Structure 1
Amino acid sequence: MQQQNTLTGGQALVRLLANYGVDTVFGIPGVHTLELYRGLPGSGIRHVLTRHEQGAGFMADGYARVSGKPGVCFLITGPGVTNAATPIGQAYADSIPMLVISSVNHTASLGKGWGCLHETQDQRAMTAPITAFSALALTAEDLPELVARAFAVFDSERPRPVHISVPLDVLAAPVARDWSNDVVRRPGRGVPAVEAIQQAVAKLAAAKRPMIIAGGGALQAGEALQALSERLAAPVFTSVAGKGLLPPEEPLNAGASLCVVPGWQLIAEADLVLAVGSEMADTDFWRERLPLTGDLIRVDIDPRKFNDFYPCAIALRGDARLTLEALLAQLPDAARDATSAIGTVARLRETIRQEHAPLQAIHQAILDRIAAVLPANAFISTDMTQLAYTGNYAFASRAPRSWLHPTGYGTLGYGLPAGIGAKFGARERPGLVLVGDGGFLYTAQELATATEELDSPLVVLLWNNDALGQIRDDMLTLDIEPVGVLPRNPDFIGLARAFGCVVKQPQSLDELEGDLRGGFAHPGVTLIELKHACAR
């Protein structure tokens, strides 16, 4: 019998996570994670029951994107880990901090092929390519070091998922000493060398048409970014992950428009581009390479970005906010005349709206109705759906961490569970999910979690075109006869009603606006099914 005052490895691990500031974990209890769940009562950590491990991973992702803190999930050995591999891969692609704690079979059985329940040949190896690191704790005393290493990644490196596997016997055995309070000093990111800052200042000061690209690595640097933009009279483009870094009304805010032709044409005119915390990936630009013709200065925490697809003239490795503040401190105090740049950005915005293709014009009309009623502090979680693709560049986010999109990995099924997770990361913020009919069916079961757990507004706007619309359109463009892109959908209204959602099915954009307004006033989950024909 376990002694009254002796902690198991699982209990001590949960206490340690609480001391690192973890307040929420997502998961499904199983026979191989019981010792983790022994530690939850009294820990101060809220457990959110998901309906699939994929949902747990996506919820942890959404929690992290909105809160800025690592999302945490508990998974069982084997199928739990493989079910969550897709959200782990998504978080890796988009540089999202996620801590995945899973069980694994007894130490004595590892790699033996004995046919144990949930056995995998090498569980660590399955997640190693999609994590900052994947580790196996062979003793309970390994756990505080591994957790400290994980938080060092989140705080001082490019934030990506970490997976720690803990054998069943390590979870269940009493710890030799109570290390659950061993929280170590968490490092920061620092600033680049003085010489590099001086070189960058000289180039920025000499540039005639400087422009800025800011990504998800700059989310804490919005104020410094705006000040630098004004000082240099430099238009600011963002990646999708960086949406909202500048206020929508900021006249130098060029938005996330590098994925459309007018944006490509404008960035080609820059004689210097300062890229801040952006991977500069083709998934953001919708083309293999941006037409950069001037010098490139990159600010990044990941040194591998300095000589990749876009080699830079000057590399500034360090924290985005601190680096921009260091540049501002050495640049001339007087702001340049921004008249020309402001006019250029205004024409860019107008051109984008005027040049919408017919489908994108429909999307814009929907997005305008959303903007009209969206609460000021709301976030939007989106799936891989055509409405969201248009919104990536055509919808103006009011603040950072307000537009969640699975950009890098591009997985279907992200929007709903990520939106649910985001509600736990920012409980006071209303949420909107934009999802297509195809992606919704990947994770529709998570409506059960939403209706069970949430008592504040989450609106799910289901864009139903009764097709895998983007793939159908791509097939037609390539003169391929459409195959497998016209599925028979269920009764979405009946399905959502069965889960306990308030349901709406507007027949016009005016009705949609009213239903959205009502959804944001409802303390729970509202599903609105919008048919393509009703949005014309």
Structure 2
Amino acid sequence: MGVVTKTVGEALIDVLEANGVDTVFGIPGVHTVELYRGLASSKIRHITPRHEQGAGFMADGYARTTGKPGVALLITGPGLTNAITAMAQAYQDSVPMLVISGVNARASLGHGKGWLHELPDQRAIMAPLTLMTHTLHEPSDLPAVMDRAFAILQSRRPGPVHIEIPTDVMAQKISLPPLSAAHVSKPRASLQDIEQLAEKCLQPNRPALLCGGGAIASAEEIKVLSDLLDAPVVTTVNGRGMFANHSLSIPASPSLAAVRELLAQSDFVLALGTQMGPTDYDMYSDGGFPEIKNLVRVDIDAEQLARGPSASLKILSSVDQLLQDLLPRLDNLRTNRAGATRAAACREAAFDSLSPKMKLEIGLLEQIRDALPGCIIVGDSTQAVYSGNLYFEAGRPKGWFNAATGFGALGYGPPAAIGASLGEPETPVVCLVGDGGLQFSLAEIGSARDCGANVIFLVWNNDGYGEIGTYMIECGIEPEGVRPSAPDFSKVAEAYGLPSAILSDTADLPGALTTLAARTGPSLIEIHETRTRGATVKGTDP
């Protein structure tokens, strides 16, 4: 097909399609209607959340499951600022998110005359939260700007990208040439770095691997590497599930003493795609993460390599490119370094160090995983999720993620779970959310109903912000502000047309999950920490 003439709004939809976008999340308004002109006739599905923050979190969950950028389409002003929290979460967790917003007409920008939804400088507000932010002043620049946006989203450490289109630009006609997907070029290690790393792999007696979210797409190749090295593999929160049921897997936080001891005693540690930030490595802010003798860090972000622990070798590369270059050099490596024994001892010690309450909650997570093989568990900031972040083996790669790390936004779970379900519509998704967190995004239950998302909302009800209340007590502070009232969640579910179950015993959880997962569309289960038998360790306070 040759050159065609379309409005900027119509051309935008064509560009999105050319780059593999099949779903967008947003709430239309008078400042974006022209961007919707070509949407209904396209192959792209539009999902309407109840709030723009929900659009951002849905895009986040969709991106984590598919590996493709999640796309949000937002109005200028409050629509965009409502999504800032979601963008900040995506920035902290390195999630590819494309946010396309309106902005007022070009002639009005910067004059402060009080136009509807006007901000002093919308692009400047977005700049600290994005990898790129751009105002489309010239209509014909659209293809080039979008090409740059997709290249950035997929060629470097992921995060949010923001493009704003003035209202007077949206309807203008442009000549649109034949389109193709943006060119993606990830960083690749030098030959010298690969050879030096290969040499290091031959020498150690007690190797170990650290794998973060940046490594999860290379899970199969890392299994090959870990077997060749006979090295235990510690996975951070965003890397969980990479090594499900593998004898070398350590699904435990590097904040735990047993994991730190394993790493301190290792004579070679290879860290792949992990930020090595405090929400994984120093969860208790005790400064106790050890200095590792022979640490090699591999990261797609040069700036991140300059932060965090010092290393004997720092390699700028995507994990997939690195393994593609490294594995052939280790093909004949066969070692017996007692990796499985070391991993088993670390797993046992890490789990034994947890409180009885944490162990109980991890047991419930294991019930979910085992009742719904291959499921995705999306968490909010709630007690059972915190326990799982310390120790839990997800059943598959990308089978466990939540907002209790990084930016730590409450209300993330429900919309992110909807996005995850839309990314993998045939996979059961369980959203584990507290009664307090669910009320941040309660209305998104209606969004799940509208789009038929196969999400089971599992509400962990502890009558408020239980984790914060406990922390205040531990700090010698009388709890205040931690007991917000909650609605009857089963009646809320009924109002939205969702089936629901209130469990009297946690032993009933597997049956409830399998029953609800067998139907199409969303549903809700409530576990009450004190009224559901088995949800509380006997003799402990909620």
TM-score range, shorter chain: over 0.9
Q: Is the 8 A contact 2:369 2:394 kept in 1?
A: no
For 2:184, the equivalent position in structure 1 comes to 187
Residue 373, structure 1, aligned to residue 397, structure 2: no
Point out the more displaced range, 466-475 or 67-76. Answer: 466-475
Name the residue aligned to 1:69. 68
The corresponding residue for 2:539 is none
Which residue, out of 207, 224, 230, partners 1:233?
230
In 1, Cα distance between equivalents of 2:518 and 2:474: 42
The equivalent position to 1:532 in structure 2, one of 512, 523, 529, is 529
Quick check: 1:260 aligned with 2:231?
no
Deviations, residues 460-483 of structure 1 (Å, cap 9, x unaligned): 100000021111111111111111
Match for 2:435: what amino acid?
Answer: D
Residue 394 to residue 293, structure 1, CA distance change in 2 (3 Å) = closer
Give the equivalent residue in structure 2 for 1:148. 147
Moved more, 23-32 or 340-349: 340-349
Query: Is residue 427 of structure 1 aligned with residue 443 of structure 2?
Result: no
Gaps of 5+ in 1: none
Which deviates more, 31-40 or 201-210? Answer: 201-210
Q: What TM-score do the two structures reach when normalised by structure 2?
A: 0.94
Alpha-carbon separation, structure 1, partners of 2:359 and 2:222: 31
State the identity %. Answer: 42
Per-residue deviation at 1:235?
0.7
> What is the DSSP-based 3-state SS (H/G/I as helix, E as strand, rest coil) of the residue aligned with 1:450?
helix
Aligned mates of 2:315, 2:354 — CA distance in 1? 37
Distance of 2:40 and 2:304 partners within structure 1: 43
> In the comparison of the two structures, how many residue pairs are matched?
526
Asked if the contact 1:282–1:289 (Cα under 8 Å) also holds between the matched residues in 2, the reply is no
Which residue of the partner structure matches residue 467 of structure 1? 464
Equivalent position amino acid for 1:164 in 2: I
Mapped contact 1:434–1:460 kept (Cα < 8 A): yes
Deviation at 1:270, TM superposition (A): 1.4
Q: What do the CA deviations read for 1:83-134 (whole angstroms, capped 9, x no partner)?
A: 0000000001001101000000000000100100000010011111111011
**Counterpart for residue 488 of structure 2:** 491
Q: Which amino acid aligns with 2:414?
A: L
Alignment check: 8 A CA contact 1:386 1:469 kept: yes
Give the aligned partner of residue 157 of structure 1. 156
Is the contact made by 2:63 and 2:70 (CA closer than 8 Å) also made in structure 1?
yes
Corresponding letter in the other structure for 2:483: L
- TM-superposed deviation, 1:136: 0.6
CA contact (8 A) 1:134 1:164 kept: yes
* Cα distance in 2 between the residues matched to 1:444 and 1:265: 42
Aligned-partner Cα distance in 2 for 1:54–1:202: 48
Q: 2:408 corresponds to which residue?
A: 410
- For 1:266-415, what aligned pairs fall within 5 Å after superposition? 266-285=262-281, 286=283, 287=285, 288=287, 290-331=289-330, 333-338=332-337, 340-374=338-372, 376-406=373-403, 407-415=405-413
1:436-495: CA deviations, max 9, x gaps? 11110001110111011116x321100000021111111111111111011221111111
Match of 2:540 in 1: none
Equivalent residue in structure 1 for 2:477, among 475, 480, 499:
480
- Quote how far apart the aligned CAs of 1:332 are: 6.0
What is the deviation of 1:183?
A: 2.8
Residue correspondence of structure 1 range 96-175 to structure 2 within 5 A: 96-175=95-174
2:15 is matched with 16
Q: Bigger CA drift: 28-37 or 307-316? A: 307-316
1:326-348, Cα deviation, whole Å (9 max, x unpaired) = 2222236132114x221121122
Bigger mean CA offset, 394-403 vs 428-437: 394-403
Structure 1 distance, partners of 2:34, 2:288, is 49
Identify the match of residue 197 of structure 1 among 194, 197, 201: 194
Q: Can you list the C-alpha shifts for 1:6-41, whole angstroms capped at 9, x where unaligned?
A: 521111111111111111000001111100111102
Letter aligned with residue 522 of structure 2: V
- Residues 458 and 519 in structure 1, CA contact (< 8 A), matched pair in contact too: no
Distance 1:272 1:520, change over 3 A: same
Is the Cα–Cα contact under 8 Å of residues 20 and 183 in structure 1 kept in the other structure?
yes
Q: Which runs of 4+ in 1 moved over 6 A?
A: none
Q: Conserved in 2, the CA contact under 8 Å of 1:231 and 1:334?
A: yes
User: Structure 1 249/411 Cα, relative in aligned 2: closer, same or farther at 3 Å?
Assistant: same
Task: Confirm whether residue 216 of structure 1 aligns to residue 190 of structure 2.
Answer: no
